[in-house]
Structure 1
Amino acid sequence: MGDAGETIEEKIVGYLHDVVEDSQITITDLSEHGFSDAILNAVDAITRRKSESWRKYIRRVGDHSIATKVKINDLKHNSDLSRIISPGEADLSRQRKYQEAIANLLEKQLFH
């Protein structure tokens, strides 16, 4: 997803966007490897908390401009049904969920 970013920060966050969420790597680890505060804040903003609802997560992502742009790219990619040979109802439902999240993020970005 990094290639979808327009700026170097968006590209870096795009590459790192699942790292903290899906591995043992922490924001502190990234900091120790020299990533800037802007990158660290964006990665933190796009990292979903374990007890966080989807709606709360999307609202929180929408509070950070870089995280918002990266998440929109991620959701567009993940809602592309052409990646699935025979999409079923679960895929269509997920696509609707992601499209709603994209609309919410775009609206927040527009009026923020």
Structure 2
Amino acid sequence: MEYAGIDEALALVAKHFRGMTDKDGEPYVMHCLRVMMGCRESDAQLVGLMHDLVEDTSVTLADLRSQGFTDEVVAAVDLVTHKSGDSYAEYVVSIKSNPLAREAKLSDLRDNFSINRVLYREPVRERDLLRMQRYVLSYQYLSDRLDETSYRRNMARVEDVSAS
């Protein structure tokens, strides 16, 4: 059986992110492409390309299955989809044990805190700084530079500050 690959993933991303822009006004699809290109393994590239589809569009995991993506790719896309009821720390901890999701999320984090993409927006400066802290802590955890206990403790501090 032939499974869906990069052509099908590109078509989905192009269709569903058409006209959407990031906080800087750039086409959102470019973020998806950069995340894909930051992954080495081909299935991780698929996950990286589609990492925001389920979270930010009407595409569902069932849609991905019916399009012919492998169970492994769909499971990894599910993991990199941040569900509204989950804290960011819980979401990131759940990703770590899945190699495809982990590689795609590390690439996503690298792109999100790339110096070219970090905006300094005076009206929301504090919120942006907290988001950057969250990204850096998550990257450190997923790349084994921070243990889970330290990660959770530091993320709780970031979340406490953002809640106040």
TM-score (norm 2): 0.61
Letter of the 1:72 partner, please give it: L
Letter of the 1:94 partner, please give it: R
Q: Which residue is equivalent to 1:70?
A: 104
* Residue-by-residue CA offset, 1:46-102 (whole Å, 9 max, x unaligned): 111110101100101112111011101101110123324546443332222101001
Could you tell me which of 111, 128, 140 is aligned with 1:103?
Answer: 140
Q: How does 1:1-112 map to 2 (within 5 A)?
A: 1-84=35-118, 86=120, 88-107=125-144
Q: Which runs of 5+ in 1 are unaligned?
A: none
Q: Which runs of 5+ in 2 are unaligned?
A: 1-34, 146-164
Cα–Cα, structure 1 residues 35 and 85, in superposed 2: closer, same or farther, change >3 Å?
A: closer
**Which is bigger in relative contact order (C-alpha 8 A, separation at least 6)?**
1
**1:29 CA drift (Å):** 0.5
Letter of the 1:20 partner, please give it: V
TM-score (norm 1): 0.87
Return the structure number with greater helix share. Answer: 1
